[in-house]
Amino acid sequence: MVSTSDSTDSSTASTGYTGEVTVGGAPDVRELERLVVTKVAVDPQMSNNCYLLTCRQTGDQVLVDAAAEPEVLLPLVAGGLSTIVTTHQHWDHHRALADVVAATGSEVVAGAPDAAAITEQTGVPVARRLEHGDVVKVGACSLEVIAIAGHTPGSVALLYDDPASDGHAHLFTGDSLFPGGVGGTFGDDKAALFEQLITDVETRIFDRLPDDTWFYPGHGADSTLGAERPHLGEWRERGY
């Protein structure tokens, strides 16, 4: 895995945000000019990351992955949770979905190719099926949907391009991109799916976004695209 200990910026320096969270531990909170990012880890087995995004102007909130432990997630919600984005269909990313929706009445959105599987597994309807280039609103803030196939057919990443004068891009990648590599691929077509995944990650993320883009994965520590970019060729060569 690539070390990210030196990957800091003005917002991390001012708030002390590191992105290092542990199951049972306190959330880590990053306060941007217009958006607050609260990161928490849930479930000792899978150690999933969940991200609560709060618009500072309106109080509207979006939760990225109701992965598990509603008793941990719901106390973080300030009453303005309007939307839950499920980044992909894998079971460990939506175990708390039904409970959080029942408690908040939030709308569920997910990548179109994964939507039916998410509903089948959780019993929760997907109100909006996301396509590449769609926008998810967090009050006055906007998240651009980046579709990245391979880990699952309908995996999505969410891009917040901070409009502050000292801001930069923030990317919530689900299980498609981690420090040290892309997500896993599975089944008889594993090699072809890896090719799809690494190509989407290269063309839709690395070819487009600058090095200071900070990304937040579905498990583990955060990183920046600059820290990972030199290793893209290694990832493609090793095939995972």
Q: What is the pLDDT of residues 11-48, one digit of tens each?
A: 554 569 999 999 999 999 999 999 999 999 999 999 99
68 in any annotated domain: yes
The enclosing domain of 43 has a CATH number of: 3.60.15.10
The CB density around residue 132, as the number of other CB atoms within 10 Å, is 15
Paired strand residues for 214: 170, 224
Provide the residue range defining the domain that includes 170: 10-238
pTM of the model: 0.94
In a domain, 93, yes or no: yes
Q: 65 in helix, strand or coil?
A: coil
Other beta carbons within 10 angstroms of residue 116's beta carbon come to 14
Contacts of residue 227, Cβ cutoff 8 Å, sequence gap at least 6: 2, 3, 4, 7, 179
* Closest C-alpha among 47, 51, 46, 43 to residue 17: 51
Counting the structural domains of the chain, the total is 1
In one-letter notation, the amino acid at residue 195 is: E
Compute, in degrees rounded to 10, the torsion defined by CA atoms 84, 87, 89, 92. Answer: -80
pLDDT tens, residue by residue, 79-116: 899 999 999 999 999 999 999 999 999 999 999 999 99
